[in-house]
Amino acid sequence: MTKDLPDARSLSTDRTRGGRHSRLIGLAAAVVLGGAVLGACSSNSSTTSTTGATTTSGASSSTTTSTTPSGSTSTTAGAARCASAALSGSVVGSSGAAGTIETTVALKSTASVPCVLSGYPGLQMLNASGGSLPTKVVRKGSYGFTAMAPTTVTLTSGQSAYFNIGLSDVPTGSETSCPTSASLEVTPPNATDHLVVTAALAPCSAGTLVVSPVFLSTGANSQTTAPPSP
């Protein structure tokens, strides 16, 4: 009995279909693999973006810092703060009435370029040996000659800024006398070093000195000084 053999064209068609099927499977696998690679790339980009955000945050913080007032080392004109070493000090005036003594100190610029001062100086009384005497500094206070508002003053070479000191020479409490200074250690506003000025001050109330901000004696925002010392 003779069996029917597959027609050659049928075999060819089956092989063609099988080949197409294999190619479709291969193409699908390639798509899946490509998607996995893209997913990995996308994940790496996300990490880089996060790092970039951190950098941006740092830049934002830096910007915030830069907008913080820069302090008294410069003004809108760009002049630097007067260095203590470029200032010479002296008592230029003093007067007294009813137990209240007013003394004016000048700070003269010896710098070759304009510089600025703004605010209150620091003070420390010294004895003849250069040792510290009890000193209590009060800014502004209630004296008319110390209670002015602080302003920024610009000094050219040879020009002076001034500040007033108010004190009481009347003993209080258990005080029987008030030690007299031989000199005064002056720390210019916003500085950390000082200069020494010859000054005989005898404040009572535990060495209380009321100090004004620095000012000019002429021009805008000028203030009065104590009468010249004899």
Q: Tell me which H or E stretch contains 168.
A: strand 160-168
Q: Judging by DSSP bridges, how do beta strands 136-139 and 208-211 pair with one another?
A: parallel
3-state secondary structure of 150: coil
Q: Judging by DSSP bridges, how do beta strands 183-187 and 195-198 pair with one another?
A: antiparallel
Report pLDDT digits (tens) over 103-146.
999 999 999 999 999 999 999 999 999 999 999 999 999 999 99
Decide if 177 contacts 185 (C-beta within 8 A).
Answer: no
The predicted pLDDT at position 66 comes to 27
The predicted pLDDT at position 153 comes to 96
User: pLDDT class for 98, splitting at 50, 70, 90?
Assistant: confident
State how far the Cα of 123 lies from the Cα of 196, in Å rounded to an integer.
10
Read off the tokens for 121. Answer: 């100086």
Note if the pTM is more than 0.85. no
State how far the Cα of 121 lies from the Cα of 182, in Å rounded to an integer.
19
